[in-house]
Structure 1
Amino acid sequence: MIKGIGVDIIELKRIEHAIEKNKRFYDRILTEREKEMVKQFTTLHRKVEYTAGRFAAKEAYAKANGTGIGGALSFVDIEILPDENGKPEVYLKGKKCKTAFLSISHSTQFVVAQVVIEES
């Protein structure tokens, strides 16, 4: 049975502007493991795509969970990491969330993420 569904879309330019304006943006949005992954990318465009994907996925998860980002759940409580095949998976406070299913998609201007959470 489905507990919740969340979707989020973000403009790449908005994330690019945030990264260029605020050097602490990564610290606010990404976990340590996610920041290690973003360091591997050599172009700003790829860093923006990656970060925007994580931002949208975390927003979508928080919506599906019914809490939103705020008091009970922060961006760094939610972690999006690839499995061995590159499929993004949700981790909540360091533990794999086996009931959350995530899809992230990119276009030239936008990133969209959708999360479905099943009852455990």
Structure 2
Amino acid sequence: MISGIGLDIVELDRIAKLEEKSGKFAARVLTHSETAIYRSLSGHRRTEFLAGRFAGKEAFSKARGTGIGADCNFTDIEIIPEPSGKPRLYFKGSTVSGFISITHTKKIAAAQVILEA
């Protein structure tokens, strides 16, 4: 049974500017494991990754019905690819029962999360 659906879309330029401005945006959004992946990337792919994780975490928080805040912050949520490349969602270290899809164009990243009860 579906218990929540969340969707988020973000402009890649916006994410790139936030990261360029202080260099702290990625640290605020990404977990240690995600940061390792992020640092292994370069150029546009790095921005896509950060924007995709941001959108995915926003979509997850919307599907939970809480939004990002004290009970659900960015680093509580982790999106790690399985060996096949399929993204897997974790919340506070536990696997989430549900699905996430992340997509990109040249200008935007979007994510959808469907949670199961």
- The answer, yes or no, to whether TM exceeds 0.5 is yes
Query: What is the identity percentage for the equivalent residue pairs of Structure 1 and Structure 2?
Result: 48
Q: Give 3-state SS (helix, strand or coil) of 1:28's partner.
A: helix
The whole-number CA distance in structure 1 between the counterparts of 2:98 and 2:19 is 28
2:16 aligned residue? 16
The residue number in structure 2 matching 1:77 is 76
Listed one character per residue, the Cα deviations across residues 23-64 of structure 1 (whole Å, up to 9, x for unaligned) are: 111110000000000111132x11110000000000000000
Question: Normalized against structure 2, the TM-score is what?
Answer: 0.97
Taking the aligned partners of 1:27 and 1:100, their CA distance within structure 2 comes to 26
| Aligned residue pairs, count | 117
Partner of 2:53: 54
Equivalence for 1:105: 103
| TM-fit CA distance, 1:100 | 1.9
Work out the CA distance in 1 between the residues paired with 2:93 and 2:47.
Answer: 24
* Long gaps (5+) in structure 1: none
Q: Which runs of 4+ in 1 moved over 6 A?
A: none
Task: Tell me the TM-score normalised to structure 1 length.
Answer: 0.95
Alignment root-mean-square deviation, CA: 0.7
Unmatched segments (≥5 aa) in structure 2: none
